[in-house]
Amino acid sequence: MSQKRASWASSLGVILAVAGSAVGLGNFLRFPGQLAQNGGGAFMIPYFIALLVIGLPISWLEWNIGRYAGAHGHGTAPGAFNILFRKPWAKYLSSVSMLAVLFISFYYIYLESVMLGYVYYSFTGLLPEMAANGQSAEFFEKYLSFEFKLFNIPAAAIFFLLTVSLNMFVLGKGVAGGIEKLAKVLMPILMFLGLILLVRVLTLPGMEKGLAFMWNPDFSALIQPKTWLAAAGQVFFTLSIGMGVIINYASYVKRDDDITLSALTANATNEFAEVILGGMIIIPATAAILGTAALTDVAHGGTFGLGFITMPAMLAQLPMAGFFSIVWFFLLFFAGITSTLSMYQPMISFFTEELKWDPKKSIMILSAIALLMGTYVALDSSLNTLDEIDFWGGNFFLLLFGTIEAVLFATHINSEKGWLELHKGGRINIPPIYRFVLKWVTPTVLVLILGGWIITEGPARFMMTYYAPEVRPSILKTRILLVSIAIGFNLLIAYAWKTHNHDDKLKITVEDSIHD
Task: Give me the tens of pLDDT residue by residue for the chain, a chain 516 residues long.
Answer: 344 688 999 999 999 999 999 999 889 988 998 898 888 899 999 999 999 999 999 999 999 999 999 998 899 999 999 999 888 899 999 999 999 999 999 999 999 999 999 999 999 999 999 999 999 999 999 999 999 999 999 999 999 999 999 999 999 999 999 999 999 999 999 999 999 999 999 999 999 999 999 999 888 888 887 788 888 889 998 999 999 999 999 999 998 999 999 999 999 999 999 999 999 999 999 899 988 878 777 666 666 777 888 899 999 999 999 999 999 999 999 999 999 999 999 999 999 999 999 999 999 999 999 999 999 999 998 888 998 998 899 888 998 999 999 999 999 998 899 999 999 999 999 999 999 999 999 999 999 888 888 888 889 989 999 889 999 999 999 999 999 999 999 999 999 999 976 666 556 665 677 766
The residues facing 150 across adjacent strands are 153
CA dist list (Å): 219 to 35, 40, 208, 214, 227: 14, 10, 20, 13, 11
Q: Using the 8-state DSSP alphabet, how is residue 277 labeled?
A: I
Distance CA 484, CA 159 (A): 29
> In the chain, where are the structural domains located?
19-507
Nearest partner of 515 among 80, 97, 98, judged by Cα: 80
Beta-carbon contacts of 470 under 8 Å, excluding residues fewer than 6 positions away, are: none
Q: How far apart are CA 306 and CA 42, in angstroms?
A: 21
pLDDT score recorded for residue 176: 94
Residue type, 49: I
Q: List the one residue out of 77, 92, 63, 484 whose CA is nearest residue 243.
A: 77
CA dihedral (163, 164, 170, 173) positive or negative:
negative
Amino acid identity for residue 424 in this structure: K
Tell me how far apart the alpha carbons of residues 355 and 358 are, in angstroms, rounded to a whole number: 9
For residues 166 and 250, the answer to whether their CB atoms sit within 8 Å is no
User: 327 near 190, Cβ under 8 Å?
Assistant: no
pTM (predicted TM-score): 0.94
What is the predicted pLDDT for the residue at 456? 83
What size, in residues, is the chain? 516
- At residue 505, the pLDDT reads 56
**What per-residue confidence (pLDDT) applies to 2?**
43
β-sheet bridge partners, residue 40: 217
* pLDDT reported for residue 233: 84
Distance separating alpha carbons of residues 497 and 504, to the nearest angstrom: 10
* Residue 235 to residue 99: CA distance in whole angstroms: 19
> How far is Cα 373 from Cα 106, in angstroms, rounded to an integer?
5
List b or e across 60-80, with b for residues whose CB sees 16 or more CB atoms inside 10 angstroms: bbbbbbbbbbbbbbbbbbbbb
CATH numeric code, 19-507: 1.10.4160
CA 192, 193, 194, 199 dihedral sign is: positive
Give the burial string for 320-356 (b: 16+ CB within 10 Å, else e): ebbebbbbbbbbbbbbbbbbbbbbbbbbbbbbbbbbe
How high is the pLDDT of residue 310?
86
146: left (phi over 0), alpha (psi -120 to 50) or beta: left
Helix, strand, or coil (residue 149)? strand
3-state helix, strand, coil in the chain (%, to 5): 80, 0, 20
